[in-house]
A = this chain, B = another copy of it.
Amino acid sequence: MKHVFSSCLALLFSALAAAQTIQSPDGKLALQVSLLDSIPHYQLSYGGKTIIQPSKLGLTLVNAPSLRTGFALKDQQTASKNEPWNPVMGEQKTILNHYNELAITLSQPAQQRDMIIRFRLFNDGLGFRYEFPQQKNLNYFVIQEEESQFALNGDQKAWWIAGDYDTEEYSYTTSNLSEVPALFDKSYDGNASQTIIPMGLQTPLMMKSAEGIYMNIHEAALIGYAAMNLELDPKNFSLKSHLTPDAQGRKGYIQTPFNTPWRTIVVADKAEKILASKLILNLNEPSALTHTDWIKPVKYVGVWWQMFCPGQGSWNYADIDNVHLGKTDYKKLTPNKTHAANNANVKKYIDFAAKHGFDGVLVEGWNEGWEDWFGKSKEFVFDFVTPYPDFDAKMLTDYARSKGVRIIMHHETSAAATNYERWLDTAFRFMVNHGYNAVKTGYVGNIIPRGEHHYSQWMIDHYNRVIQKAAGYKIMVNSHESVHPTGLHRTWPNAIAAEAARGTEFETFGGNNPDHTTILPFTRLMGGPMDYTPGIFQTKLDYYQPGDTRYVKTTLVKQLALYVTMYSPLQMAADIIDNYDRFPDAFQFIKDVAVDWDETRILSAEPGDYITMARKAKGKEEWFVGGITDENPRQTSIDFSFLDSDDYYVATIYEDGKTAHYIHNPQQYHIYKVLVNKKSTLKQALAASGGVAISLKKATAAELKSLKKLRSK
């Protein structure tokens, strides 16, 4: 019955409305835009099959007539672009921005207002946004809700997390949309700051139709606007935009001219193509920075993971629960002896970084205030410039410099964004004066201004303000607990990475499911690089404290593979460095692996199951392959035809041991070298939540003689 109705609606749509249509450059995607009852609708088909049913567009406003109905078509313009561009850093050297565009100007005669909806149809999907030209009757308005609809063509399978105004740090649930209501309340656990949206789903939302069409809904270029979640109508398989409100329940203060972020629908008949899509990046504006030579990839270690491991360290210097910054005299406090960001430990990390060729050392807990930083809604929680007594900023800066290493700054804000803005210039000047060029920011807890949310408009402005101000100081930003990235690193390439999902740290809280990292590239990473912080070799925490049942739910080798499958130009070797000394042969992969790339090939992928990728290092004749699987062991087939030379390469293969298992035997691995060329194939076994990591370098004459060749096709 539902299907009959949908089909009728589609028919009606075509029959009654004066539809505007465009096709993707390859002709496979077709977009129809029309007015039905004076409400703008769009419809999308893929290979002749409708994948988005006629769906409404528009916005409701606070104390003003809506921008949703009463429209007449005033104008329409089409355009095309086919233009390659080169990101400052990225998964590939050159990206092609290739689309056909339709811009319809809609007019409300009653209000004498115009609104433009701009559609860009790529071979891999659709983007559309609302544009509000400056005009007599539309200078300022307040958004009650954006009412963009995504009426799906059936009960899609989805990889989803619950909608929230404050956190994405949830584990993914895999289910059909119709099953969401039954699963919703079980889908999330607690968080330091959370505001669940009933029947809300977060973007990027990854879906797959019964027919095997993959679809990913998200947004691009989130600037000056609240972040979007989706509201699910599970009976009609329809989604609707749901913006994040401010303290007064309002969803956006707009001054024209203004363009909303793009709403993106990436579409493909293969999962691999979803991962290869650059649609979101293409919908962002080119770099706003003229000079970007100071923006460089960063591989780093850090004083961090030890604070999550029992008995290994603390952020705080003293065990007190009431700090008044500037008044509390830390020199008079009794040190707790567990403070990890102390001179000796940081020097040890600097030494390690220098020895193994890392660019940076992140140091968390270096500054005063960690004793009572959390859960107090404390505004003046950190000043970002006052080190603890046992952290000699000047000495450590000099020491790091002498070793060719940089310390990476940490600015935990405790979500007191107002306080951070007050200190921002001072904090960045401190960084410049001490030779830091990268900062990890954090927003743990409820936002100040109180009542604002992590994803409300004011905070979106804040994050972007921080990135832009940082750019002025030539500082790269890696933001945690901020908002889902939307490709803005094209425009602000110093926004080098972000968290905005459940990262490795959660292995010590609720744990990350074995399929977690097979889903993240289809969801969170669609918007931009993630500082997932892989590289945990000591996965079981009972190593530190007998009886501790927590463990990182992967094999050691899967941790290696993540450096390839989880794209980021900023990558951490997150484990306590002592653990790398225990497995120096496996650690070699982390030392070798690139973090910035000229080429990327998605060899095989299915969300929630497995991903295998090959990437070519930036400016080098080196390739790296990473393959991961979920809780199921499986065999993956790696075809080396991606190699762009006829030469033989030495493949150093890091594979799970024969009885490796993420629970029972996570640290068993095997490393061997073999010669491969573009005709080689490899059938590779992956353990349960295991993986494979391969580095490929051109073989020397000696290696050609001494090493075996992998069998060819």
Contact = CB atoms under 8 A, between A and B. Distances in A.
Interface of A: 134, 139-140, 142, 246-248, 250, 253, 255-256, 321-322, 324, 372, 376-379, 418, 421-422, 425, 449-452, 458, 461
Contacts of A425: 425
B253 A378 contact: yes
B450 A247 contact: yes
Given A247-B449, A247-B450, A449-B452, A253 B139 contact: no
Nearest to A142: B377
A321 to B, nearest CB: 5
Contacts of A321: 139
8 contacts: A246-B450, A255-B378, A256-B322, A379-B461, A418-B421, A418-B458, A421-B421, A449-B451
A449 B378 CA distance: 16
A133 to B, nearest CB: 11
Q: Lowest 5 CB-CB distances: which A-B pairs, in order?
A: A449-B449, A247-B451, A247-B247, A139-B322, A140-B376
A246 B451 contact: yes
Contact of A458 (B142, B372, B449): B449
How many copies of this kind of chain does the complex include? 2
A238 to B, nearest CB: 31
A377 B421 contact: no
A322 B139 CA distance: 6
Contact of A140 (B142, B253, B378): B378
A688 B376 CA distance: 57
A247 B377 CA distance: 14
A322 B258 CA distance: 12
A376 B139 CA distance: 10
Nearest to A324: B255
Contact of A450 (B250, B376, B378, B422): B250
A324 B140 CA distance: 12
Contacts of A253: 376-379
Contact of A418 (B134, B255, B449): B449
A322 B138 CA distance: 10
A602 B378 CA distance: 46
Given A449-B452, A458-B450, A372 B247 contact: no
A379 B253 CA distance: 9
Contacts of A449: 247, 418, 449-452, 458
A688 to B, nearest CB: 44
Contacts of A247: 247-248, 449-451
Given A255-B324, A322-B256, A378-B255, A248 B140 contact: no
Contacts of A421: 418, 421-422
Nearest to A446: B248
Interface centre among A418, A422, A450, A461 (most CB of B within 10 A): A450
A248 B195 CA distance: 14
Contacts of A139: 321-322, 372
A451 B425 CA distance: 27
Contact of A248 (B134, B322, B376, B451): B451
A581 to B, nearest CB: 41
Given A140-B372, A248-B451, A255-B378, 20 more contacts: A134-B322, A139-B322, A139-B372, A140-B378, A142-B377, A246-B450, A247-B247, A253-B377, A253-B378, A253-B379, A255-B376, A379-B461, A418-B418, A418-B449, A449-B451, A449-B452, A449-B458, A450-B451, A450-B458, A451-B451
A535 B88 CA distance: 64
Nearest to A377: B253
Nearest to A138: B322
A381 to B, nearest CB: 10
A139 B321 CA distance: 7
A377 to B, nearest CB: 5
A582 B562 CA distance: 84
Contacts of A134: 322
A378 B571 CA distance: 39
A332 to B, nearest CB: 15
Nearest to A253: B377
Nearest to A376: B140
A422 B324 CA distance: 23
Contacts of A379: 253, 458, 461
A450 B451 CA distance: 9
A134 B421 CA distance: 29
A430 to B, nearest CB: 15
A227 to B, nearest CB: 17
Contacts of A422: 421
A234 B322 CA distance: 42
Contacts of A246: 450-451
A131 B139 CA distance: 50
A255 B369 CA distance: 14
A649 B253 CA distance: 63
A10 to B, nearest CB: 41
A425 B421 CA distance: 12
A248 B249 CA distance: 11
A273 B378 CA distance: 42
